[in-house]
Amino acid sequence: MELKRSLGFWQAYATATGLVVAGSTMVSLGNSFGTIGPAFIVAAFIAMVISIIIALSYAELASIIPGAGMIGDYTLVSMGRFMSIIAVLGGYLVLVAAVGPMETMTASMAVAYLFPSANTLYVAIALLTLFLLINVLGVEVFGSVQLTVVGILMIGTMALGIFGLLDLFTVGTPVTPEFNPAGWSTVFQAFALGLWLFIGIEYVIPLGNEVKKPERTIPKAMIFGLLTIFVVDMLFGYALTRYIGLDALAAADIPQIIGASAMFGERGGIIMALLTMLAAVSTINATFAAVPRMFYGLARQGLLPKIFGYIHPRFRTPAFSIFFVFSLFLLPLFVLDINITLMTTLLMSASVTWLITYIIAQVNVLILRKRYPHIARPFKAPFTPVVQIIGIVACMYMIVTVHPDPQTKWLVFSIAGGFMAVIIVYAIAWLRYKKLPFFTPVMLEELQPLQEPELAPVPKRVPEQVPTKSW
């Protein structure tokens, strides 16, 4: 089954960028500028460079092994089943469990800003139920408007930033803040905060099956996406610091909305609330579409219980996996008192486990270069192994310095460590139960039968997850 290669650079760019720009990243942006000051720009720039290095590694891996399994398939071929489970669940199960409720509440708080009488919990439940139905039924709601959605988000946020910096249409009196009030040691411990602005750019990779000249288009789309996200976020973030105090910015639950209101009055708050809501709900839908298909891929490989591979007979969607993701989004809303402190802690906890997955991806590149030196690589990451070594060291550094506040850092380590401990125990128990080898790599040619297309197409808000044999 071959997919038509009909998508060009801008569609690939829109998918890559639209998956990264989320409601939680807007909250993190405002909080980080408040915590670090304008010098956060330096930390974010370094995080962007590291993200580009990681993106190049993913592009090479996907040119060898395309498909819905992504990091699970890459790791299965390079390091075996145990590390494959760690890579997928560490990166994406923790994402759903830790960040999913935060994204939902960000959207709910934006709605509550527009309609103060709205109950945020009820709004969250309604949103999650809507996206549950959309994804179980296989409704394609974002495909035709993907580029428009991203354009509104990026242009709208950039315009607010530029107007704020140039004092156009503003209602407040700007004050130039101290550039680096927390000191450079704090800046160099804020790379992980910067990384959250770019994390997830690799979600565009499976789109290679539908993109013209994907070996060139996909890497360019990811790099240009990272660059434009950096520019837009830094313009808006720096503008925020001129109209609202850093302490207030760091403590606000919705700093981007409070800051926009301080700059432009009520109209600014309304515009940013709408942008935040659009970013959050589209990212929730993207997660509901993408992550269940990764769980489905693991189930087909025998690395998750068979129930995760259940396909709805009528709609051809991974119904159980979608319900599982829905429950992980929903249940924490009833037990957690969500505020900016909790949100930052959970975002950073997910960053730690996601960074572990990024380290595994870069190690995969090095292993596969040695094990399959002559296999066709439509895209090759430049300056290998130097860039991978730099990327691995950088990811390790960001884990060690995940947050400048020592108390928050150790709480993050505790939460991330707890998640990883559960995943490791599951991997050991499951592989022993199934009598499968832990670290024996699957041969590349043996992986292909696992990639027969069975699923209905997913919304184009998430890259199409039906693989072909090669780019």
Q: pLDDT digit string (tens) for 190-214?
A: 999 999 999 888 877 766 666 778 8
> What gap in Å lies between CA 11 and CA 8, rounded to an integer?
6
Residue 441 in any domain: the answer is no
Residue showing tokens 């050991």: 428
The pLDDT score that the predictor gives to residue 459 is: 47
The pLDDT score that the predictor gives to residue 140 is: 53
Number of domains in the chain: 1
Burial bucket for residue 182 (CB in 10 Å: 0-12, 13-18, 19+): middle
CA dihedral 217, 222, 224, 228 (to 10 degrees): 150
Tens of pLDDT, residue by residue over 444-459, are 888 754 444 455 555 4
- Here the tokens at position 121 are 């919990």
User: Comparing 264 with 468, which gets the higher pLDDT?
Assistant: 264
Mean pLDDT for all residues in the chain = 86
Residue 457 in any domain: the answer is no
The pLDDT score that the predictor gives to residue 23 is: 86
Give mean pLDDT, residues 220-224: 93
236, 157 in Cβ contact below 8 A? Answer: yes
Residue 17 in any domain: the answer is yes
The pLDDT score that the predictor gives to residue 415 is: 94
The pLDDT score that the predictor gives to residue 466 is: 36
Q: How confident is the model at residue 69 (pLDDT cuts 50, 70, 90)?
A: low
User: Comparing 242 with 336, which gets the higher pLDDT?
Assistant: 242
Q: How confident is the model at residue 404 (pLDDT cuts 50, 70, 90)?
A: confident
Residue 469 in any domain: the answer is no
Residue 427 in any domain: the answer is yes
The pLDDT score that the predictor gives to residue 118 is: 86
The SS3 of residue 7 is strand
In this predicted structure, the answer to whether residue 409 has a pLDDT above a threshold of 50 is yes
Q: How confident is the model at residue 6 (pLDDT cuts 50, 70, 90)?
A: low
- In order, the DSSP letters of 330-388 are HTHHHH----HHHHHHHHHHHHHHHHHHHHHHHHHHHHHHHHSTTS--SS--TTTTHHH
The pLDDT score that the predictor gives to residue 288 is: 83
The pLDDT score that the predictor gives to residue 455 is: 54
Residue 463 in any domain: the answer is no
The SS3 of residue 82 is helix
> What gap in Å lies between CA 102 and CA 280, rounded to an integer?
10
> What gap in Å lies between CA 228 and CA 309, rounded to an integer?
37
pTM, rounded to two decimals: 0.87
Give mean pLDDT, residues 67-96: 88
Closest CA to 284 of 254, 326, 226: 326
The pLDDT score that the predictor gives to residue 145 is: 53
> What gap in Å lies between CA 225 and CA 314, rounded to an integer?
37
The pLDDT score that the predictor gives to residue 1 is: 39
Tens of pLDDT, residue by residue over 272-331, are 999 998 888 778 877 887 788 778 878 888 889 999 989 888 888 889 999 999 999 998
Q: Which segment, 17-26, 90-99, 391-400, is predicted with the most confidence on average?
A: 391-400
What Cα–Cα distance (Å) separates residue 56 from each residue in 293, 312, 375?
Answer: 23, 36, 18
> Among 112-126, 152-166, 440-454, which is the least confidently predicted range?
440-454
Q: How confident is the model at residue 352 (pLDDT cuts 50, 70, 90)?
A: very high
The pLDDT score that the predictor gives to residue 467 is: 38
Q: How confident is the model at residue 354 (pLDDT cuts 50, 70, 90)?
A: very high
Its domain, for residue 134, covers: 9-436
DSSP β-bridge partners for residue 211: 7
In this predicted structure, the answer to whether residue 162 has a pLDDT above a threshold of 70 is yes
- The angle at the Cα of 51, spanning 417 to 88, to the nearest 5 degrees, equals 45
The pLDDT score that the predictor gives to residue 67 is: 67
Contacts of 102 (CB under 8 A, 6+ apart): 24, 27, 338, 343, 346, 347
331: CATH: 1.20.1740.10
